[in-house]
């Protein structure tokens, strides 16, 4: 089934708004089998009559009348739900677009922080290397002094 356009939904809404107010009802017990139809529930005004009230072949007159009667309240309710879902969908689309923008912004921030961490790690390595070199020089000096002291004895 093709997606309904906003124009088609508006036309359906116009038809529903123009129809006799509801609710509608089926009164087979009051009308008898020859006078079955769909009526306005409040004033018993006839909405439509079933031409052949007897089931023949695939014809289901009682089910058809119930469907027509229910359509008076079902169609506006469905249109309201479509409108609500369209609004929710728009909010979700907007939220998704914002989330996507934030994802890119956060990706840039993560990259910046990684670079900063890498820089700090390199600074620490240089400092540690310098400290290690200083320790090595001190150890070498101590070892040299110790050997000189041993040689003098």
| CA pair distance 149, 45, nearest whole angstrom | 125
- Please, are residues 31 and 97 in contact by the beta-carbon 8 Å criterion? no
Question: Positive or negative, the Cα torsion across 118, 119, 125, 128?
Answer: negative
For residue 110, give both structure tokens. Answer: 């993560």
Length of the chain: 153
| CA pair distance 21, 42, nearest whole angstrom | 9
Give domain limits for the chain: 6-152
The residue-averaged pLDDT of 58-78 equals: 88
**Is the pLDDT higher at 19 or at 48?**
19
Asked whether residue 11 carries a pLDDT value surpassing 80, the answer given is yes
Asked whether residue 52 carries a pLDDT value surpassing 70, the answer given is no
Q: Average model confidence (pLDDT) for the chain?
A: 79
Asked whether residue 81 carries a pLDDT value surpassing 70, the answer given is yes
Residue from 79, 87, 95 nearest 19 by CA:
79
**Is the pLDDT higher at 12 or at 108?**
12
| CA pair distance 28, 6, nearest whole angstrom | 38
For residue 19, give both structure tokens. Answer: 């129809």
The residue-averaged pLDDT of 118-122 equals: 72
Phi and psi torsions of 46, nearest 5° = -75, 125
Q: Which secondary structure element, helix H or strand E, spans residue 24, and what is its range?
A: strand 24-26
Q: What is the pLDDT of residue 42?
A: 80
């Amino acid at each position: 089934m093709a997606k309904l356009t906003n124009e088609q939904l508006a036309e359906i809404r116009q038809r529903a708004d123009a129809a006799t107010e509801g609710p509608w009802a089926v009164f087979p017990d009051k009308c008898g089998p020859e006078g079955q139809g769909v009526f306005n529930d409040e004033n018993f005004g006839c909405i439509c009559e079933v031409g052949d009230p007897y089931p023949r072949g695939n014809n289901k007159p009682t089910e058809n009348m119930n469907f027509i009667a229910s359509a008076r309240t079902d169609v506006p309710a469905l249109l309201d739900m479509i409108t609500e879902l369209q609004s929710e969908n728009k909010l979700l689309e907007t939220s998704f677009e914002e989330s996507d923008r934030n994802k890119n912004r956060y990706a840039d921030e993560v990259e910046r922080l990684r670079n900063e961490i890498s820089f700090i790690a390199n600074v620490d390595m240089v400092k540690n290397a310098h400290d290690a070199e200083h320790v090595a020089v001190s150890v070498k000096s101590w070892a040299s002094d110790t050997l000189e002291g041993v040689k003098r004895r």
